[in-house]
Amino acid sequence: MHENDSEDHEAEEYVGLADFLAEGDEQRLHLEMLSDKPRTDTYRQVILSNSASLRGKVVMDLGCGTGVISLFCALLAQPAAVYAVEASSMAEHTEELVKQNSCEEVVTVFQDRAENLTLPGKVDVLVSEWMGNCLLFEYMLESVLLARDRWLKEGGMMWPSSACLTVVPCQAFSDYSQKMEFWEKPYGLDFSYLQSLAQKEFLSKPKFSHHLLTEDCLSAPADVITLDMVTIQVSELERLKGEFSFSVEKSGMFHGFTVWFSAHFQSLEEDGPSLELNTGPYSEITHWKQTLFMLDAPVTVEEGDIIVGSILLQRNPIWRRHMSVSFSWNINGTEVSKVQTKCFPMWR
C-alpha cells in the first residue's frame, strides 16, 4: 500500500467514525426527549383532545425527529395527511418508523430544511417542538416562523399557540458553595486567590439543567416575555426584553435568577380546553429543567424587599443559534443599591 493510500484510508475511517459518533449523539438526544414524559405526553394529549377537529385536516410536524408527534396524529386522529419534516439524516429512520407503525398512507416524511421545503400544499395545523433553554436558545423558532409564513393556511393553528418566559429571584447555596466557597480552605489550605478566577469561570455562564427547589424561590415567579405564535415575526427574535418587579416573600440570600418557559396549546374548538407544558419548578420535571444565572456575589435580602429590573434576550449577530441574556436589577430603588447589570453569553 502506498503512503498516500494509507492516509486516504485513515481519512475514510476518521469520517466514518465521526458519522458514527454523530449518530450516537443524535440517538442519545432522541432518547432524552422521548423519555421526557411531561413533554411527550403533553403533545399526545393535545392531539387526543383535538382528535375530532383534526379529522380531514392536513398537519405539518416540523423538526419531527423520530416522528412521534406525526404518529400520534395518524393513530389518535383521522387527518387527511401529515407532513413529517426533518432536516437531519434521522429522516431516513423516521420513514422506517412510519412504516413499522403502519402509518405510511397518512404520514409522508420530507427530509429538508424549512427554508427549502416544498410540500403538496398548505396545511391546517403546524405543530413543532422548537423550544430550547430560556425558550429561544438555538433559535429553531425561526424555521417554524418561516414555515408558518409559507405553508400555514390563513386562520390555521400553531401548536404551541403561544409561549412564555418566566423568571424568579432565587437562592442557590449548593451551587455557590461548590463553585466559590470551596476555594476558601480546601484541605486546610488558603486557596482564596483562585476565587476571582472561579468567579469568571463558573459565574459568568448560565447553568443549564438546573433543578430549582421551590423553597429556594425568594418570591412568586413572573412571566416576563410572551410570544404569540401567529403574530410574532422573525425580526422580533433579534431582541426581546421583559420587565419584572418581585416582592421578596422571605428573608434569605439572593444568589441569582432562575428562568424557565411554558408552552400553551389552544384548542381547535372555540370552547375547547387549552393545554400547557410548563418546565418550571412547580411542575413535573422535564429534560430542560431550569436555567440558573448567578450574580457575582450573593446579596442578603429581607422579606418585603422589592427587586425591580429587566431581562434582555439578544441574538448573536454571527453565531445565529446562540444568544446573550442580560439582567438589570435594583433592590428597593435606593441610592445605596444602584442598578446592577450582568450579561451571560449562552453557548454550547
* Beta-strand relationship, 275-278 and 323-331: unpaired
Q: Are 39 and 287 in contact (CB under 8 A)?
A: yes
DSSP annotation of 132 reads B
Catalytic amino acids?
Answer: 129, 138
Rounded Cα–Cα distance for residues 26 and 254 (Å) = 38
First-residue to last-residue Cα distance in the chain: 42
Spatial neighbors of 14 by CB under 8 A, at least 6 apart, are none
Cβ atoms within 10 Å of 167's Cβ, excluding its own: 23
- Helices and strands in the chain: count of H runs, count of E runs: 8, 15
Rounded Cα–Cα distance for residues 74 and 127 (Å) = 13
Q: At what angle do helices 68-76 and 90-100 cross, to 10 degrees?
A: 20
Query: What is the CA 81 to chain-centroid distance, rounded?
Result: 28
Spatial neighbors of 271 by CB under 8 A, at least 6 apart, are none
For 127, the grid coordinates are 405543530
Q: Which residue has the cell 393545554?
A: 275
Q: Are 301 and 307 in contact (CB under 8 A)?
A: yes
Amino acid at 112: D
Cβ atoms within 10 Å of 98's Cβ, excluding its own: 24
Q: Is the dihedral of CA 167, 168, 169, 174 positive or negative?
A: negative
